[in-house]
Amino acid sequence: MPRDLWSWSIDARFADLSDDLKLRAGLRRPRPRRAGWPAYQEVGEALAAEGWTGLAAPSAARPAYRILCLFRAPDGSVPGAAPLPPPRRVTLPPVGPTGMRT
């Protein structure tokens, strides 16, 4: 801390790992621990290989929310993503979700 938080404009083709796609992929609802990461990483790698630019999935830390993961192109860019200045300066960390062990 402090950090600059940026808003982004996203115009990308991303897979939505909501119920239907998630069930087909064999994924369970994410939990805030590392044991579940490999399954999501494998699905992400497969989607990237198929040409998707990213994925949306339920948040492990905040179940009422979703996360967006965009894949980098071979040149390191993130296609379809552009920062929207100016950033917002944050000096204190957010309050962690209740019930988590960190």
Q: Given this model, what pLDDT does residue 76 score? A: 92
Structural domain count of the chain: 1
Kindly state whether residue 34 falls inside one of the protein's structural domains.
yes
Q: Which domain holds residue 64?
A: 12-72
Long-range CB pairs of 90-95, under 8 A, 24+ apart, other chains included = 90/1, 90/2, 90/3, 90/4, 90/5, 91/1, 91/2, 92/1, 93/1
Q: Given this model, what pLDDT does residue 100 score? A: 60
Kindly state whether residue 99 falls inside one of the protein's structural domains.
no
For 11, list phi and psi in degrees, rounded to 5.
-135, 75
Kindly state whether residue 25 falls inside one of the protein's structural domains.
yes
pTM score above 0.85: no
Q: Given this model, what pLDDT does residue 98 score? A: 72
Pull the structure tokens for residue 99: 């019930």
- Taking phi over 0 as left and psi of -120 to 50 as alpha, with beta for the rest, 45 belongs to alpha
Kindly state whether residue 79 falls inside one of the protein's structural domains.
no
Kindly state whether residue 77 falls inside one of the protein's structural domains.
no
Kindly state whether residue 23 falls inside one of the protein's structural domains.
yes
Low-confidence residues of the chain: pLDDT under 50 = none
For 73, list phi and psi in degrees, rounded to 5.
-75, 165
Kindly state whether residue 43 falls inside one of the protein's structural domains.
yes
Kindly state whether residue 3 falls inside one of the protein's structural domains.
no
Q: Given this model, what pLDDT does residue 40 score? A: 80
